[in-house]
């Protein structure tokens, strides 16, 4: 399993939200590049970058920071504000190796296959869960789909990678529910887990559930776990 340390961006700063609530935003006193260099020094080569301001505004706001982080040599997965195919293309051109799209996919699922056909493995479906259902548009709009239904349907439309986020656990440092992912893992799928990943128990539980990658954010910044510990637990 791969560890993906998270850098969430707002107004050029590294921040973390609690349960996606912009009024509960905490800023950290380091630049995006400084944060990325710290993760690289710990031996990490993959990184998860979220443009929170872009997600709020509906257009990417941190392509400059994306380019700077990509220039360090990371494999970068990037999301936030990618509400059009053109925005996806811009993010890839700016240095993203893989982009995460949720609203773009779930607002018009009938056309999702066009996105997978155009971008292939470079586009990842962001499956955000609240109350057991998929939500999008800043986690404010709900669908009738659960995680398995969404992943299975999108798999049939050509998607092969999925970021599945438990939004109610995001930023809470209260642990994740690995059972959410057990039914999703399948040959040919790449499943990344996010939301509440806090300690070594979470890392081991996700690995046992067949998850391919785990996103860790707040816990890295606030001492819940170190990146070195998390990466070591993946190989145990």
Catalytic residues: 8, 128
Q: Helix 227-234 vs helix 200-208: angle between axes, to the nearest 10 degrees?
A: 30
The closest alpha carbon to 159, from 105, 236, 213, 225, belongs to 105
- Rounded to a whole number, what is the distance in angstroms from the first to the last CA of the chain? 10
The closest alpha carbon to 72, from 126, 21, 34, 28, belongs to 34
Backbone dihedral angles phi then psi of residue 184, each to the nearest 5 degrees: -95, -30
> Dihedral of CA 204/208/213/214: which sign?
negative
């Amino acid at each position: 399993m791969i560890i993906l340390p998270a850098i969430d961006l707002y107004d050029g700063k590294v921040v973390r939200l609690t349960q996606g609530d912009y009024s509960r935003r905490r800023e950290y006193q380091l630049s995006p590049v400084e944060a990325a260099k710290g993760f690289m020094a710990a031996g990490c080569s993959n990184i998860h970058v979220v443009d929170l301001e872009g997600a709020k505004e509906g257009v990417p706001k941190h392509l400059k920071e994306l380019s700077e982080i990509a220039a360090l040599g990371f494999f970068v997965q990037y999301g936030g504000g990618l509400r059009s195919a053109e925005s996806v293309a811009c993010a890839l051109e700016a240095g993203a190796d893989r982009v995460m799209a949720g609203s773009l996919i779930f607002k018009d699922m009938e056309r999702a296959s066009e996105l997978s056909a155009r971008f292939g493995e470079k586009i990842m479906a962001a499956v955000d869960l609240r109350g057991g259902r998929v939500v999008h548009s800043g986690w404010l709009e709900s669908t009738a789909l659960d995680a398995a239904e969404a992943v299975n349907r999108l798999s049939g439309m050509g998607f092969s990678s999925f970021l599945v986020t438990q939004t109610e656990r995001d930023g809470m440092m209260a642990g994740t529910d690995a059972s959410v992912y057990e039914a999703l893992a399948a040959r040919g799928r790449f499943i990344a887990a996010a939301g509440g990943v806090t300690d070594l128990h979470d890392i081991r539980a996700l690995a046992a559930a067949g998850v391919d990658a785990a996103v860790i954010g707040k816990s890295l910044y606030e001492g819940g776990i170190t990146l070195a510990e998390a990466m070591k637990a993946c190989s145990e």
